[in-house]
Amino acid sequence: MQKLFILVCCLLGSGWAMAQDIATAPNGNVKVIKDSRVDVLIKKQTYINTLAIRNQSGFRVQVISTNKRGDANEAKARVMQLYGDYRTYLDFQAPYFKVRVGDFKSREEATELRDKLSNLFSGGVFVVPAIINVSPDKELSNEEPY
């Protein structure tokens, strides 16, 4: 019974309550007062969100695929000595260890490195599709600072 009484009171009370005062907004216009720092915060958050998206589909150059960890580590060290500008990855996909080099957005960029590396590795060097890591430095150079 009390629950029913409370429900009826809430329904009647909500009918009498007014969300807006009609006397202050007779023509329907709303005046918004906003701090200018809100725009700066929105721009900064947009910038942070674009940097957070660093994983994209792209290409890497695979120099070796072997089931021997030692051979894979040697190949990785060799690539890192000769081409230190590119990030080198050692991936394990059972039962193979794969050494992949670089983070390229286009196949053409990866093909240039493949041509350079093909003389060093006799087992075959291939351009493979992969999820690449986009470095924040490249993203910073493409966007204007806030």
Q: Where are the domains of the chain?
A: 57-133
- pTM confidence score: 0.58
pLDDT of residue 144: 47
Evaluate whether 99 touches 41 at the Cβ level (below 8 Å). no
Q: Which residue has the tokens 């890591």?
A: 133
Average pLDDT score over the chain: 83
Q: Is 62 exposed, middle or buried (0-12, 13-18, 19+ CB in 10 A)?
A: buried
pLDDT digits (tens, 9 = 90+) for 81-140: 999 999 999 999 999 999 999 999 999 999 999 999 998 888 889 999 999 987 655 544
Could you tell me which residue, 140 or 56, shows the higher pLDDT? Answer: 56
Q: Is 74 exposed, middle or buried (0-12, 13-18, 19+ CB in 10 A)?
A: middle
Q: Give, as one character, the DSSP assignment of residue 130.
A: E
The dotted CATH code for 57-133 is 3.30.70.1070
